[in-house]
Amino acid sequence: MAVKYADGVVLGADSRTSTGTYVANRASDKITPICENVWMCRSGSAADTQNVAAYVSRLAQEHAVSVSSAGADADEGIKCDVKLVANITQKIAYQNKDRLQAGMIIAGYDRKLGPQVYGIPLGGAMMENPFTVGGSGSAYIYGWCDDTFRENMSKEEAQAWVKRAISLAIARDASSGGVIRLVTIDATGVSRQMIQPIEQPLCDEELPAVKRS
């Protein structure tokens, strides 16, 4: 999921990748950098989204470099317009709609339009939203998110909101689990967090997590 707050965006995801009932990866990273200030949340087929992300990353960075001096300095990360990245992703998703099973969320911060969140679901539509959720666990939290979302939250409020939303999804969706990953993007840069089950809010009828010594 991703949400716009006053000065930036917060992206959040769980870390469970499953093949059937088997948890193939309990600590996967579903939030991928496209360029320094634009990141993508991936859901659906891991293979499809990884490859789409790779294409989008290359195309967006080439575009950014060709129209500006972005990245001229080796130490400087390449920055792109969020809308550009979203459009490129949308084109790929739409033109290959019969072949892909990829639900993606593009979110980031640029100086032109500030914080933005774009949802690109199956089929290749693109919509800008104040917040958007995706993946199998999203069905369980639409109501809660609709009920508790406020525009222009502070950074801490937004992070806590995303953390709570994902923990509620993990509580009820068997395909979601593991750690919660948060990525916060604003004008100053990007910060990443990993929240272990022991630090996640406790849900009804569950027992508090215990750390292995």
Q: Interface residues with other proteins (CB under 8 A)?
A: 15-18, 21-23, 25-30, 32-33, 46, 50, 53-54, 57, 136, 140, 171-175, 177-179, 192, 194, 196-198, 204-213
Q: What is the phi/psi pair of residue 88, to 5°?
A: -60, -45
In a 3-state reduction of DSSP, which class is residue 93?
helix
The b/e string for 126-161 (b: 16+ C-beta within 10 A; e otherwise) is beeeebbbbbbbbebbeeebeeeeeeebeeeebbeb
In a 3-state reduction of DSSP, which class is residue 23?
strand
Residue closer to other proteins by CB (options 4, 49) is: 49
Q: What is the CB neighbour count within 10 angstroms for residue 63?
A: 18
In a 3-state reduction of DSSP, which class is residue 191?
strand
Residue closer to other proteins by CB (options 51, 87) is: 51
In the complex, what is the shortest distance from the CB of residue 163 to other proteins, in angstroms, rounded to a whole number? 15
In the complex, what is the shortest distance from the CB of residue 35 to other proteins, in angstroms, rounded to a whole number? 11
In the complex, what is the shortest distance from the CB of residue 158 to other proteins, in angstroms, rounded to a whole number? 21
In the complex, what is the shortest distance from the CB of residue 193 to other proteins, in angstroms, rounded to a whole number? 9
Q: What angle do CA 64, 65, 68 make, to 5 degrees?
A: 80
Residue closer to other proteins by CB (options 85, 153) is: 85
In the complex, what is the shortest distance from the CB of residue 78 to other proteins, in angstroms, rounded to a whole number? 13
Residue closer to other proteins by CB (options 48, 110) is: 48
Residue closer to other proteins by CB (options 147, 205) is: 205
Q: Which amino acid is at 84?
A: L
Residue closer to other proteins by CB (options 112, 207) is: 207
**CA-to-CA distance for 209 and 196, rounded, in angstroms?**
9
* Alpha-carbon separation of residue 71 from 39, 48, 58 (angstroms): 17, 28, 13
Tokens 């967090």 sit at which residue?
193
In the complex, what is the shortest distance from the CB of residue 152 to other proteins, in angstroms, rounded to a whole number? 30
Strand-pairing partners, residue 186, are 8, 189
